Structure 1
């Protein structure tokens, strides 16, 4: 609703399906991809807004596929989103080719999906609407139940996907933000997090999550995907679907481990806020291969819901110049970033790992924003490995028991 602000979450749940239901899902996914592709082909180079793509492609999708009316609408919206993303990349001077829909997924909304109190879900297909059980954990306080059983959480757009022959329903939920969440930014100890390619994530407390293995797998997959798309045969298309599912599972598993590590770091250093860079242009900023943008958003969502359980807020800040700014003296210049991994300030001579320097800048940006806000007390501080720092009061060492780190300077940031 216009003017409303929401907190959004996703609960992933396996479906218990019969062989007949499996066949209907497979047909629905196939027709969904066809519908999205038809809309994309018609909109490419012509329009990108949902309000334009829907009337342009609706009749063609209905004539050429077995999708129902509402799934046809959703397919036009999915195509509009994909085309809009390409236009954004082109506007930013990046290469963008016409989208191809190969992933084994299909979107659902409240008109095409209904959740029931008995733990089952009804889903529209190309034929009949089918009802199947959700494979929920036996514990009443399991992750999914906190959304399924709470009146304040509303079901929103969800996604059905195939993962190693298992059907998984990514159920979207939302609730209205409270007045505190909407109007008040939290003060407290901040953990800054930088996202990148060489390192998936680096925290302001100097914890590194290496990205070499993930980066290699994504680049290799990108090469294979390009070759299969060029081949264009039915067999190549099927192989691409299998590879896509395998890669998505690997990314999701990797991000699960990284998100757990970030939460552990925030808890160890008694942090109240985890600050990320704004994810809008994360792929362009990192120059990462296919999959990185999706991976970073997956990581952010996982950290967000895990942080909520731990009572930690998650925020985003403007990433402009965080990779070029010296976190010690504030001097900002492109030359400071000597390479992907090396940072050396041209003014004060401070040296550090470039991603670690950026993580501190991201956290400090949130801290500084609190000092400029009339709604906050300005009491935020950045968590480092050996102490905390604020722009005004400088560095404060932790009590004995924390290992000091040479990159943390005992003067004002």
Structure 2
């Protein structure tokens, strides 16, 4: 996802009085209503994401207490939420309409103003409120590097409520330097596969289990279905609280997974982290509704965490990464014996299916160099025991990593320990 900007988020608690609290809570409620109104209208009539604002803006303004800018932002939020649904519906696939229950509201430069005295002015459903930011005493704190810098400018931010406190997720961006704009065309690549059984698998054989997340998502889906069927005001309040907890849980899981991916890339001195194109990943992985959101959140977190470490993040075509043998290239659905087991029908290589897919993702990026006039084709894929070039040349790590037979069937490296 190419961008001319580096983006960061600084989470800051707000100090609010009782009157401000009431206004902000009402704004969050009206925001959710506005997003839902726009979604309901677009669900019935829209065939493209760009049509949502023109269709729903007037209704959002008439039926909620949102100001004009928040009404626009609500239609944008609805458009993002139903975009993938429209794609699936066009393809004749089953879809369910998005619902908005999280206690959040989006702000941009027109609806939010930061002041030099460490206060922020926020539009509400009635009037603006000006609240102090609760910042750490340390002048070199994380938020200060953005608030006190002329390089960083404020961009779209999110206000949320957690355990009775208001938190502002301040978005910042700055232009990339020339060095940052020239991504690592040639270098070491870490391949990443996202899935259900294993949430994350890297080409260096690092695994993050997805079983606990799957269990939690199934539990929440059962609770949500029961509360929606009940339909009472009390059930709606309970669903709102449960949705907030679920959102925080998924974000925590995504942060941990993203940290693991970036740490693995740094451990193996990688210049690029390669993901498969996330479009249609729900269908490819047969994932539940919450997984797709988790996958995209992990990707977004990795993007900004990797940028801070000087690592580029790229996406590659996902075609056949699940059924292609990373060793010999033979591609057949018969290779994928089960969700967890891969066995090549041509060369006999056996491996964990997600690990094989992670290597295919990385190899697809590595092999781009052979088709690009701008690149030398000198990139290499990081494996557990060494690296492999686009032509299949394997080089063991000199400092003695433990080898895994699926890295290179004809060559093994033993640990120096």
Q: TM-score, normalized by length of structure 1?
A: 0.92
Unaligned runs of at least 5 residues, structure 2: 412-417
- C-alpha contact (below 8 Å) 1:14/1:134 kept by paired residues: yes
Partners of 1:394 and 1:410 within 8 A in 2:
no
- Deviation per residue, 1:379-412 (Å, 9 max, x gap): 1111111111112251111124311112211569
Tell me the equivalent position of 1:24.
23
* Cα deviation, residue 135, structure 1: 2.8
Q: In structure 1, how many angstroms separate the alpha carbons of the residues matched to 2:200 and 2:261?
A: 9
Q: Which stretch of the first structure deviates more once superposed, 117-126 or 53-62?
A: 53-62
How far off is 1:357 after superposition? 0.4
CA distance in structure 1 between the aligned counterparts of 2:148 and 2:372, rounded to whole angstroms: 37
CA distance in 2, matches of 1:16, 1:280: 40
Aligned in 2, Cα 1:231/1:342: closer, same or farther, shift over 3 Å?
Answer: same
SS for the counterpart of 1:150 is coil
Cα 1:349–1:356 shift into 2, 3 Å: same
The residue that corresponds to 1:249 in the other structure is 248
After the TM superposition, which residues 213-252 of structure 1 pair with which residues of structure 2 at under 5 Å, given as runs? 213-252=212-251
Which aligned pairs between 1:3-402 and structure 2 lie closer than 5 A? 5-47=4-46, 49=48, 52-182=51-181, 184-402=183-401
What is the alpha-carbon distance in structure 2 between the residues aligned to residue 12 and residue 48 of structure 1?
36
Inter-CA distance 211–4: structure 2 relative to 1 (3 Å threshold): closer
The alpha-carbon deviation at position 265 of structure 1 amounts to 1.3
Deviation at residue 4 of structure 1 after TM alignment: 7.5
Would the aligned equivalents of 2:379 and 2:390 in 1 still touch at CA under 8 Å? no
Q: CA RMSD in A?
A: 2.2
Deviation per CA, 1:109-135: give whole Å up to 9, x if none: 111011223322111001221111223
Match of 2:414 in 1: none
Q: Is the Cα contact below 8 Å between 1:258 and 1:299 reproduced in 2?
A: yes
Q: Deviations over 1:275-303 (max 9, x none)?
A: 11122333333222232122222212222
Deviation larger for 340-349 or 87-96? 87-96
Q: Which runs of 5+ in 1 are unaligned?
A: none
1:165–1:45 CA distance, 2 compared to 1 (3 A): same
- Asked whether the equivalents of residues 6 and 304 of structure 2 are also in contact (C-alpha less than 8 Å), the reply is no
Partners of 1:184 and 1:264 lie apart in 2 by 19
Preserved contact between residue 48 and residue 83 of structure 1 (Cα < 8 Å): no
Query: Which residue is 2:415 aligned to?
Result: none
Shift of 1:332: 0.9
Asked if the contact 1:48–1:84 (Cα under 8 Å) also holds between the matched residues in 2, the reply is no
- The alpha-carbon deviation at position 216 of structure 1 amounts to 0.5
Identify if the C-alpha distance between structure 1 residues 39 and 309 changes in structure 2 by more than 3 Å, giving closer, same or farther: closer
Deviations 1:226-275 (A, max 9, x none): 22222222111111111111111111222222222222211221112111
Would the aligned equivalents of 2:184 and 2:272 in 1 still touch at CA under 8 Å? no
60-69 or 174-183: bigger deviation = 174-183
Cα separation, partners in 2 of 1:382 and 1:138, compared to 1, 3 Å: farther
What is the TM-score of this pair, normalised by structure 2?
A: 0.91
Between stretches 375-384 and 56-65, larger displacement belongs to 56-65
* In 2: Cα distance, 1:398 partner to 1:168 partner: 45
Equivalent residues of 2:112, 2:120 under 8 A apart: yes
